[in-house]
């Protein structure tokens, strides 16, 4: 498959402010020392000033978080948060399963909840309200314009690649995978790709196994150490699976910012995420905080009228 990159989602002026906020947040998570925090901010500013203007926000974030790890010698500042986020969502896992099983359209409900789970993000957002996101996801008025296209793609698919995003959110993904496999009577080969190394609260193999993803899917590392997925910087194994999958489900804003750059792609790719900043909301012609289901190459689709 020939992949052409079109850098539409380059880093915007707003992204520099967000990157500095994230740098300060990560530094404060590691140490209360103001000198350490100042050093991290100075280095983050330097990296941003020296970076190219055609990179994506996740690529910019990769350098900043690597710098903070090197200065602090703390390899996974968000380790405790990730465990807590997984545990918090696992506590409502029985309810999630019951809600999906009792829905008029279990797949639609599983998709809604999977997108709602994307709110668990300690990078793009300073804070989040998981309960509010879940309540809005199950509201009867909510529908997804491109859901029918997704359901049709799934019905034809034998192999699915899910590119995971955040801890906590991965529990919602577990329910989505269970639902997809149930609808296909187990005849669905699912692979879940995770980050190669800790970055913010993104899922690595450890967090995926913690919630039991290995019981319903094969887990692989994408090779990506950024909060996104630039194909040119992934492993050969990931690229081969990506190119062979009948259906690709890309979770999260960072994966959308990077994977949506593929100008030519024969894969059926669907993006599931929430618009977490004004810039992404503007690009998708929606309000900040809106849940999105996008099919690559088509116009944005948001929660709309009742199905």
pTM of the model: 0.90
60, 185: one domain: no
Identify whether residues 111 and 219 lie together within a single domain.
Answer: yes
- Looking at 24, 43, 72, the residue that finishes a domain is 72
Residues 40, 181 within the same domain: no
pLDDT tens digits, one per residue of 104-159:
999 999 999 999 999 886 655 545 567 777 777 666 555 578 999 999 999 999 99
CATH code for the domain of 59: 1.10.8
How sure is the predictor about 5, in pLDDT bands with cuts at 50, 70 and 90?
very low
Could you please report the per-residue DSSP string of 19-73? HHHHHHHHHHHH---HHHHHHHHHHHHHHHHHS-TTS-HHHHHHHHHHHHHHHH-
254 located within any domain: yes
| Residue 304 pLDDT exceeds 60 | no
Residues 51 and 149 grouped into a single domain? no
- 62 & 132 share domain: no
Residue 260: which pLDDT band, with cuts at 50, 70 and 90? confident
Judge contact between 265 and 3, C-beta under 8 A.
Answer: yes
Q: Which domain holds residue 194?
A: 82-295
CATH (domain of 209): 3.40.50.10880
Judge whether 305 lies within some domain. Answer: no
Higher pLDDT, residue 174 or 8: 174
Q: How confident is the model at residue 185 (pLDDT cuts 50, 70, 90)?
A: confident
How many domains would you assign to the chain?
2
Q: Based on the domain organization, do 43 and 98 belong to the same domain? A: no
For residue 64, tell me if it sits in a domain: yes
Regarding whether 68 and 124 lie in a shared domain, the answer is: no
- Whether residue 153 is found in the same domain as residue 242: yes
Shared-domain flag, residues 66 and 197: no
The Cβ of residue 289 has, within 10 Å, a number of other Cβ atoms equal to 17
Q: Considering the chain, what is the average pLDDT of its residues?
A: 88
């Amino acid at each position: 498959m020939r992949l052409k990159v079109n850098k539409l989602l380059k880093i915007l002026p707003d992204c520099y402010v967000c990157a500095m906020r994230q740098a300060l947040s990560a530094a404060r998570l590691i140490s209360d020392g103001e000198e350490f925090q100042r050093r991290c901010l100075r280095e983050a500013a330097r990296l941003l000033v020296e970076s190219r203007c055609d990179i994506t926000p996740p690529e910019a974030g990769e350098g900043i978080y690597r710098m903070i790890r090197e200065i602090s010698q703390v390899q996974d500042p968000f380790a405790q948060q990730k465990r807590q986020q997984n545990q918090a969502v696992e506590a409502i896992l029985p309810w999630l399963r019951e809600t999906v099983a009792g829905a008029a359209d279990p797949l639609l409900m599983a998709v809604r909840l999977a997108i709602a789970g994307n709110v668990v993000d300690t990078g793009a957002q300073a804070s989040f309200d998981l309960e509010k996101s879940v309540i809005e996801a199950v509201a009867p008025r909510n529908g997804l314009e491109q859901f029918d296209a997704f359901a049709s793609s799934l019905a034809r698919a034998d192999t699915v690649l899910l590119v995971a995003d955040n801890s906590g959110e991965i529990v919602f993904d577990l329910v989505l995978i269970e639902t997809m496999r149930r609808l296909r009577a187990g005849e669905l080969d699912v692979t879940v790709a995770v980050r190669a190394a800790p970055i913010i609260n993104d899922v690595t193999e450890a967090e995926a196994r913690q919630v039991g993803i290995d019981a319903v899917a094969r887990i692989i590392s994408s090779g990506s150490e950024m909060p996104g997925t630039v194909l040119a910087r992934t492993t050969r194994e990931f690229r081969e699976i990506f190119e062979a999958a009948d259906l690709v489900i890309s979770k999260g804003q960072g994966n959308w910012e990077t994977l949506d750059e593929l100008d030519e792609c024969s894969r059926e790719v669907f993006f599931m995420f929430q618009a977490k900043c004004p810039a992404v909301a503007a690009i998708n012609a929606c309000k900040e905080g809106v849940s999105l289901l996008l099919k690559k190459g088509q116009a944005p689709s948001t929660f709309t009228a009742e199905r």
